[in-house]
Amino acid sequence: MNMKRKIKTAIVIASLFTLGATDVSPGMDPDNPTCPETPNWSTNKTMELTPKMMEGTKVLLAEGAVDAGLPDRLRMMLADNPDISEVWLRSSGGNARAGNEAGRVIREADALIITRIPQGWTCFSACNFVFMGGRARIVEPGAHFMVHMFTMTNDRNAINYSIEMGTDSTVGLIGEVEQASALLATEDNDFLIRMAVSLKLLSEVMYKTNAVKAEVGDKSTRRCLTNDEALRYNVANVGG
């Protein structure tokens, strides 16, 4: 290979590495490239519920972290406002079981309530299950249904602390974490069945282990579904 060809080859290889290093759209998270780097999911410490008329339709703005008291507040809000026809969600997640229960509250309400993630808003983790409580579910183009990719021993700080305390403590804690995670996975599985959401959402996305991902250098812990994926998994059952 002559010198000119060697230089040309080196330039091509360098350009390929450069493309790989910058293959993230502007505004997206480098470690979670399907998701925005700065999600619009509200900074409210607890989810605020605000009824509002929007072009002749009464909607409920649900903004902030999913807290343990949300299901009761939501139940009372829907009872006091039976004309609410949509719930619009933006949230960073929170209490997983409260998210499941809040989703059931929406599903069991007398009205046929639509859940919606408006354009630019993000619904993450426990918020996913509140959203899936809607009989009709809409993820608008430009909205983010962001799922958390769980592992069976997710609480690394607690496990590392228990290692310092001794082997017996570590084994016991890991067992407790795995048991609690398995129970939550069972509850999530049951919830998705009741809400007619594909169980492949759990097996292909939410419970995909980070150990496997790490082997291929994938650091992502979050995943934002495309609109096509949201429809394919029946997360959204109405086009945005």
- CATH number where 220 lies: 3.90.226.10
Say yes or no to pLDDT of 7 above 60.
no
Lowest mean pLDDT of 65-69, 174-178, 191-195, name the range.
Answer: 174-178
69 part of a folded domain: yes
123 part of a folded domain: yes
21 part of a folded domain: no
Q: How many domains does the chain have?
A: 1
Cα separation of 96 and 71, whole Å?
12
Domain that holds residue 93: 48-232
178 part of a folded domain: yes
Q: What is the pLDDT of residue 9?
A: 45
C-alpha distance from residue 149 to each of 143, 170, 209, 220, 221 (Å): 19, 23, 7, 8, 5
Among 90, 214, 196, smallest CA distance to 145 is for 90
52 part of a folded domain: yes
Q: What is the pLDDT of residue 52?
A: 97
11 part of a folded domain: no
Mean pLDDT, range 193-214, rounded to an integer: 75
In terms of DSSP H, where are the helices of the chain? 3-21, 70-80, 96-108, 126-131, 156-165, 167-194, 200-201, 210-215, 227-232
Cα separation of 47 and 30, whole Å?
28
101 part of a folded domain: yes
Mean pLDDT, range 169-179, rounded to an integer: 46
One-letter amino acid of 11 = I
Cβ-in-10-Å burial (0-12, 13-18, 19+) of 3 comes to exposed
Among 51, 226, 33, smallest CA distance to 139 is for 226
Q: What is the pLDDT of residue 239?
A: 83
